[in-house]
Amino acid sequence: MADGLDLTSLIRDIPDFPKPGVGFKDITPLLGDAAGFAHVVDRLTEHFTGRRVDKVVGIEARGFVIAAPIAHRLGAGLVPIRKPGKLPWTTQVQEYDLEYGTDRLEVHTDAVAAGERVAVIDDVLATGGTAAAAAALIEAIGGEVVGLGFVIELAFLGGAARLEGRDHVSLLTYE
């Protein structure tokens, strides 16, 4: 990397988490490293700078820690997209498919005003189901999705296909 920081050395591989056979990318060493955390926030902020972002969406829960400093740096508001039952006011709900079964995400219906420009941030782009559902939620309440940003992209899971036609950026890609 141009500034000599090796982000991959700050990602911890956890075998069999959260279930057997799944390999988990633990970003807590990266978050806890002041230079690494600054690097991630700086690079993703740069991607959205000058693109008139009104709101930055963070997807619960790891997405919050990346989205919030980007929102702050862009001078934007921060919008949480959460798992069912966590948001206390009126919500828009989006169901999406998992490998087996479905899951749901929610956003407050007043989280974005009509026509506001929104960046969607999460820690990892995996199958793309969560990210696509988040983008659909924002559009359902009247926002315009400017783009999506991730720290890690697990390219072998094909998530980019679910975001076709959308701008997206990932800082680290595992092929």
Among 11, 58, 92, 123, binds a second copy (CB under 8 A): 58
Find the shortest distance in angstroms from Cβ 164 to a second copy: 29
Q: Which of 43, 95, 99, 117 is catalytic?
A: 99
CA atoms within 13 Å, Cβ hemisphere of 91 = 19
Output 41 or 148, the one with its CB closest to a second copy. 41
CA atoms within 13 Å, Cβ hemisphere of 114 = 0
Among 21, 34, 101, 165, binds a second copy (CB under 8 A): 34
What is the dihedral sign for C-alpha 3, 122, 66, 63?
negative
Q: Which residues, at least 6 apart from 23, have a Cβ–Cβ distance to it below 8 Å?
A: 13, 14, 15, 16, 17
Output 79 or 148, the one with its CB closest to a second copy. 79
12 binds a second copy (CB under 8 A): yes
What is the dihedral sign for C-alpha 171, 123, 78, 148?
positive
Among 72, 104, 117, 166, binds a second copy (CB under 8 A): 72
99 catalytically annotated: yes
Q: Are strands 77-81 and 117-125 parallel, antiparallel or unpaired?
A: unpaired
Find the shortest distance in angstroms from Cβ 133 to a second copy: 18
Distance from chain centroid for Cα 128:
10
Query: Which residues, 92 to 151, sit near a second copy by CB under 8 A?
Result: 108, 110-112
The phi and psi torsions of 119 (rounded to 5 degrees) equal -105, 135
Output 64 or 162, the one with its CB closest to a second copy. 64
- Tell me the Ramachandran region of residue 99: left when phi exceeds 0, alpha when psi lies from -120 to 50, beta otherwise: alpha
Find the shortest distance in angstroms from Cβ 91 to a second copy: 11
Hey, which residues are catalytic here? Answer: 62, 99
List interacting residues with a second copy (CB under 8 A).
12, 14, 17-18, 24, 26, 28-29, 31-34, 36-38, 41, 54-55, 58, 60-62, 64-69, 71-73, 75-80, 82, 86-89, 108, 110-112
